Structure 1
Amino acid sequence: MKGQLNKKNSRIRRYTKIRKNVCSHRIFRLVVHRTSRHVYAQIISRNTAKVLVCASTLEFKKLNINDIYTGNKCSAKIIGQLIAQRALKKKITTVFFDRSGFKYHGRIKELAESARISGLVF
């Protein structure tokens, strides 16, 4: 049904509102996406849609972090720290937080707060 409300349609509606605001600022975007098992974060350039820095829970095997479940707040906190460290290495300090329509609580909130503590400004 076209007018049916569900979680996905609500998220897309919130996402379009956020995207309009993001495009008007013309600064780097910290885009966050989450699934039930993983958390992904990317910093995208202001002019082109080019990914400059990325981090995700898929990297835990490379980093030898095998004892942490990838779909919880603890892993989101680690991803927030990783993305902030990598952004600061590329001299990116100020970003716009694009939460992709996800509500600001749980894993999204933990990622944002750990990125702020690690040095990103948004």
Structure 2
Amino acid sequence: MPTTPCPCRSGLSYDECCGPLHRGRAAAATAEALMRSRFSAFALGEEAYLLRTWHPSTRPDHLELDAQLRWYRLDVTSTSRGGPFDDAGTVEFTAYYRSPEGAGTQHEVSRFVREGGAWSYLDGTT
């Protein structure tokens, strides 16, 4: 996938954007970068990455993605804090998917925390 566009729609290729994060070769510098990488993980079925980047206080024991959902678009609406010098932040977004029943969206405000220099997903309100 070296030249394949990244599913998060950053405009970069997957190998330049979310690929290194999924492979553990890089860490997200901001809450938004982690949010985008998590969307890409949903789009590509990277369950292990989703669990690895979920805060231990809210992380489920296991995760089984719905193989019939195809996540294809992410629109980040706003961010609050979540920068390289913050320890918390929020990202508001709308994610678009297709399923056997048709097209749909998920609108969410996600909360992220940074501990030990690493961002993790805490929770979200839909």
For the criterion TM > 0.5, the same-fold answer is no
**More strand by proportion, 1 or 2?**
2
**More helix by proportion, 1 or 2?**
1
TM-score relative to the length of structure 2 = 0.28
TM-score relative to the length of structure 1 = 0.28
Higher relative contact order (CA 8 A, sep 6+): 1
- The structure with the larger Rg is 1
